[in-house]
Structures are given as structure tokens and as C-alpha cells.
Amino acid sequence: GGGGGGGGGGGGGGGVVGALSKPLEPGSSDCVEFLTLNFGHFETTHRWRRLLPCDEFVGARRSKHTVVAYKDAIYVKNMLNDLLRFDVKDCSWGRAFTTGAPPAPRYHHSAVVYGSSMFIFGGYTGDIYSNSNLKNKNDLFEYKFATGQWIEWKTEGGRVPVARSAHGSTVYEDRLWIFADPAVKCMLVLQCFLINVRLSFFLARWFRIPTEHLLRGSPAPPQRRYGHTMVAYNRRLYVFAGAADNTLPSELHVYDTDGLTWDVVTPAQDTLQTPFSSVYESLPKLPSGRVFHAAAVVDDGMFIFGGTVDNNVRSGEMYRFQFSSYPRCTLHDDYGNLWENKQFCDVEFILPEEQQRTRAHISMVTARCPKLREKICSAKEDRDEVEGRTPTSEVDVGADDVDDLRPPAIRVVIREAQLQPFEMLLQFLYTDRISHPRKGYVEDVLLMSEVYRLALRFSLVRLEQLSLQSVHASVGLSNVLAVLANACRLRLDLLKEFCLNFVVKDSHYIQVIMSEEFEKLSPALLVEIVRRKQQPPPLRTVPDTPTDIGTSLEQDMKVYLEGGGAEFCDVQLQLDDQTTPAHKAILTARSSYFEAMFRSFSPKDGRVTISIGEMVPSPQAFESLLRYIYYGDVHMPPEDSLYLFSAPYYYGFTNNRLRAYCRHNLEMNVTFQNVLQILEAADKTQDPRVFACTKVSKLPKLRTLSRELLLDVLASLADYLAGGGNVGIGEITIPDI
């Protein structure tokens, strides 16, 4: 068993056993293996559990310490400069052996494990007993677990992070990541609560992480804070608690290093403490907000120890959080590949000023941009009028255009636009992302200004905010005047205001006006800069965080599937006697099965029969499949998971994300109330044998099962009882194809 990469929860009292099935075609293997889903007792994902606290005679309650995990032990480094070791298996404490020159006694530092070593960064040193003569540090020390040796690191080149304390740090992909407020007072909120810097262990250099991911549609990043913890697990960084604006929040924030987005983890509904005696029964189920605690990852769980809670009370509590682990969502990458390879394009945009053209897909463009949708509809009407056809409710654009060498059926003229920024706009429609300007390249910043102008023209709020913030982040002393002149030429008022305010800052003004570029500005701009400098700073009217960031790719594709794209459908999906309109480009982007079909033997009548091997999914499961294809949704009833378990192989999805969710869904949610619905699904997925707990026999649904299926249930139950099994504790076995 296991959790499908993310663990699972304790199931109900019954289960389903699926027997041998034939290999699926296409994409199946020549042999059949079996996947067993256990309904025993194991952790629910995103579940908090309270463990035994540390007794006073073992170790005092504490805060401002650090905790790391290495093999089967947890190491605690505190302000007394000692190094304690806790054995996870034996639950015993001891003092770790050390040699060499250790770091000075400190607190508010951070500690991480990389390879077979522990790294200590920053913190306060000085007379820590009297809390005087304290100094903030940015030094880096290594402790080798094998030899107990301390070594101080000297980094080479790059920007060394400023001295800091009460920060969070973790290791991911051979780099040390630091999450913290700069040590100096900083009012740039958008930069204060982000991951600021990282250290490459191989290069011994620090890098600053860009902040433009804030506008990718994810929830708001955590408030700037101190005294929190950060750990890494499976491409994600988890930030817990800390002090934020005089509060102690208890939310668990997660940062996706692939999508560069923040999110808030919702605890599992069955989050429960595990009481070891009646003393703990009245304690809260979730860890309360706290500061200066410590966290470490052991296997697939995060352990939180100690810290300071309300009223400056030190805690000796230990909590465990169960991580989830699923293959990454490839929705944005799949649509991005569709844009890059230009297959099955059915619209061509013509830019007459440059005598250039670029191709795209009607379904992707019309789903994301209403103004381009209007232009495409108008161009289609013109084409139909020229060809003497009357438009119908169904648009069959590019149905016969499977050869990329043929011109697309629809041509749309886009005036007053350059090819490169317009293609960046189209790429954004497919991926929800833009490429950031290269540092030091003025032409890249000017190009992004053109993208911003097009975003305003086509009312793409999300792209508007992304491109504007990208330009803001790239403006510096070397390019501000070029960006200012370009903003005036393009009449980009917000960008112009930003550049003017940047120029007249006291720390920038002298350097800017003494530059050669300043002499080349138009007289009108020179006068405006001089007058702006003489005026008092204007009141800030533009909010730091945009109030409207537009709709995301997932939101637009959901609307498109639910009827917003009905008039642009160019293929019909046939399930029994039910017909569902769909879009070739979207199916092609997400499934290699559909890509091969439409490229090699596209059905002449535009109808595709839906099946998963020899099994025909239920209408409800088919809807779940379409939701996953169009916008990556993985939420579905457990019975749908049984139908779609083999869909990733059969349809050739990029990875097994859907399969992992299906497995986890079955392990978590099979109960005696829904086991019969799953049983019927198993009956359709090839020759199942079933047993369930006695509660199932009382369900009205049992009387609606077919005679053959009931006989299978009785036969399987008899075999199970003959083997000494206990009714009510079961497992589900499904062909692993």
C-alpha cells in the first residue's frame, strides 16, 4: 500500500478486490502487475498529530533553538553552544561529539542539513546571558556528522546576504534558501516577505530570487515575519507560524518551486491529536501560533518542537504534520508545448506593418482574450461570406487542416503591433507566464514595455500587471531614462510616473542627470523632471498590491469547458449515446493519444469514441476526465477514480498525477456507504471479485446490483472467510497497467 506518493488515510470498513484484466491499448505494457490499496491505519495527508512532549528532566522547554534531522536522529542546537542528539527510534537524548572551532554561542540562527553535514547560518552572538553587546551575523558554519568536525565557510564572489537573525532557511536542489526580512528596516513589503536569497553549494555564490510570481494567481504570500520555520519536501517549501505584525499566525504556507506560487495548506478534516493519557485530551488538535520554534523533516512528516506561545510561555510540545506528494501539474507546460510546436494551428495573425505572420490555436486564444475572440469571429464571418456559406452554430475551423504546411482557415489582421511582443502575448495566453527581462539588457525592458502596451490594448489585466511589475523590477540607473522616453512615446502613463519618481529620488537624481543619456532627452521631458524634483513627493495613490489580477489559465479553461467555448468546438466525443463537443487543440496538448489520432487518422465525421481500453467509463467519470484535461482538476468521487486509474497510460498524459490522485482518493474515501458504487465501477473495469463489511448488506443499493455481480460478491466473500479473513477489513486490488 501507501499513499500514491502522498500517503493516505484510514479507510472505511469495506473494500473491493479487482481481479485480472487484459492489458490496455495503446500505451499498455505486455504484462499485468497489481496495485494493492490498503485500508489499514496510516496517516491522512495534511493531518496534524500531537506527540509526547519533552520531559523536563530530559530537556528544558525552549525557544530560539534549531532542529535538524539526519538519518534516524534529530539534532538540537541552542544558545548554550551545545549540540544535543535525539534518537527517533529509541526516543533517547544525548550530547553529540564535536571537534574543531565551533561557531560562537548564538541564538536566532538557522540550521539545515546538506549531504552528511549540518550548516548553521547567521543569528545573534555576543553576551547572550546578559542579552548585551549582541551582534547580528551572516557567517556560515558546517558540522560534519561523521567526524563531529566544525568548519567555517568563506563564500567567494556574488552578493553575500546581510547579517540577519530569526529567519528561516532550507535546502533545495543543492542550494541554501533563506526566507527573511532584511536586517535593516524595509518598507518594500513585496520584497520583505519573499524568498530573498539562495546559496549555491557548488558555486559558493548567492542569488536573489525574482518576485514577479506574486501575480500568477496564487493566494497572497505570507506576511513579513520573523521567528518562523521553513522546511523543504518534494519541490515545495513549507513556512509555519512566526510573529507577523504583532500576531502569532498558525497557518502553514507552501511555496511551489516549480510554479513559483504561494498557497495556504488546509488541514485535513480528520486532524486529531493522539492522546497518550487523559492529560492531553483537552489540548488543541492543531498547533497554536508560536515563535522561535524549530522544525525538521523525517521521512514524509514534519516535526514541530518547542517555541514561545501566548504570554511568552515556552513550549515543550511536539507535533507531526503529514505531507502530501503528487506528481506536478503539467497543465501550463502542456499548453506551452502546444504553442511551441505549432501543430494543428487554425488561425493566422497578420501584422501588416512588419509584413509578418504568426500562427496560433483558436481554442486557446478565444478562451483567454475576449477582444481577440471578437476579431476571430469577425474574420470567420468574412470568410464564410466570401465562400458563400452561412455560419452555423458549430464552427468547424481547421477540421481538415492536419497538415501543418497548409494555411489555416482563419486570418486575422492585427495593426499597430510588432511581432515579438505580440508573440509574447500569445505565449502568455497559453502558459499564464512571461519571460523576464535579462539583467543589463535595455532592449529587453523596452520589449516588456511593448507587451504592457498590448496588454492594455487587449484588456488582459493579468498580463498588464505581470508586465508592469516586470518592468518595475528591471528599471535601474542604467536604463531608467530609456524606459521613461519609451513610456512617453507609447503613452504609458503609469510606467511614466514610476520612472519619474525613480529619477527624482535623492539617491538617484545626481547620477541620472550627470549621465550622457540625460542630455539626449527631449526638452519637454527635461522640464518635467526638473519641475518634479522641485515639487513635494505626491501622495501614493497606486496600491502596492493590485486589487484585480485578472483570471488565471485554469479559471478561463473551466469556463471554456462549461460552455464558453461551445461555438468553437471542432470535434465530437462519443460516449455510448451521449455526444460531447470538444476542441482538438486542447485534447492534443494534453494527450499523446489524441495527438497521434488527429495527426495520422483524424475521423472524417469529427466523432471520436471514448473508452479506456475495453472499458467504457461512466458519464460522470468522463466529465471528471474532461475537467482534468482542460484545466487540471483532480477532484472526483471515488468511483470515478476507479474508472480513470488507467487513463494516464491509455491517453498518454505527461505524467501520472491523475493516477496518484485516483489511488489516494480510493484509499481515503472508500467507506461502506459508497463501496457499492465503486463495486459497480469495478465490475465494468474487468472481472472483479469483491468483499465488504457487514454494514454493506443493509444498504438499499445492494438490492439493485445485477445477479451476476451479487454471485461474484458471495463467491469472493466465501473464499475470504474460508481463508480465515475478518469481514470488514479489506483491500482493493486494481490492475497496475
Q: At 151, which amino acid appears? A: I
**pLDDT higher than 50, residue 93:** yes
Span 665-676, pLDDT tens digits: 877 666 655 555
Say which residue, 325 or 558, is predicted with more confidence. Answer: 558
Say which residue, 417 or 187, is predicted with more confidence. Answer: 417
Q: Which residues pair with 512 in a beta bridge?
A: none
Pairing mode of beta strands 301-305, 252-256 = unpaired
- Count CB neighbours of 582 within 10 A: 21
Please compute Rg for the chain using Cα positions.
Answer: 30
CB 387 within 8 A of CB 410: no
* Structural class in CATH, domain 331-534: alpha beta
CB 200 within 8 A of CB 214: no
Beta strands in 22-148 (DSSP E): 33-38, 48-51, 66-70, 73-77, 83-87, 92-95, 99-100, 106-107, 110-114, 117-127, 132-144
- Count CB neighbours of 525 within 10 A: 19
DSSP labels for 683-728? HHTS-EEEE--GGGGG-GGGGGS-HHHHHHHHHHHHHHHHTTPPTT
* Backbone φ/ψ region at 702: left (φ over 0), alpha (ψ -120 to 50), beta: alpha
**Which uninterrupted H or E stretch holds 199?**
strand 195-200
Q: Kindly report the average pLDDT of the chain as a whole number.
A: 76
With bands split at pLDDT 50, 70 and 90, how would you rate the model's confidence at 600? confident
Q: Check residue 399 and give its pLDDT.
A: 38
Q: Check residue 535 and give its pLDDT.
A: 82
**pLDDT higher than 80, residue 23:** no
**pLDDT higher than 80, residue 183:** no
Pick the CATH number of 48-322 from 3.20.20.140, 2.30.110.10, 2.120.10.80, 2.60.120.10: 2.120.10.80
Q: Check residue 503 and give its pLDDT.
A: 92
Section 317-326 average pLDDT: 85
- DSSP class of 265: E
pTM: 0.71
Residue with cell string 461551445: 566
Span 25-64, pLDDT tens digits: 444 433 333 444 444 445 677 777 776 666 565 556 666 7
Domain-by-domain residue ranges, the chain?
48-322, 331-534
**pLDDT higher than 90, residue 333:** yes
**Which uninterrupted H or E stretch holds 734?**
strand 731-736
- Domain 48-322 matches domain 331-534 at the CATH topology level: no
**pLDDT higher than 70, residue 373:** yes
| Closest C-alpha among 330, 249, 326, 321 to residue 291 | 249
**pLDDT higher than 50, residue 615:** yes
**pLDDT higher than 60, residue 695:** no
* Backbone φ/ψ region at 398: left (φ over 0), alpha (ψ -120 to 50), beta: left
Q: At 592, which amino acid appears? A: S
Section 589-613 average pLDDT: 89
Query: Coil, helix or strand for 232?
Result: strand
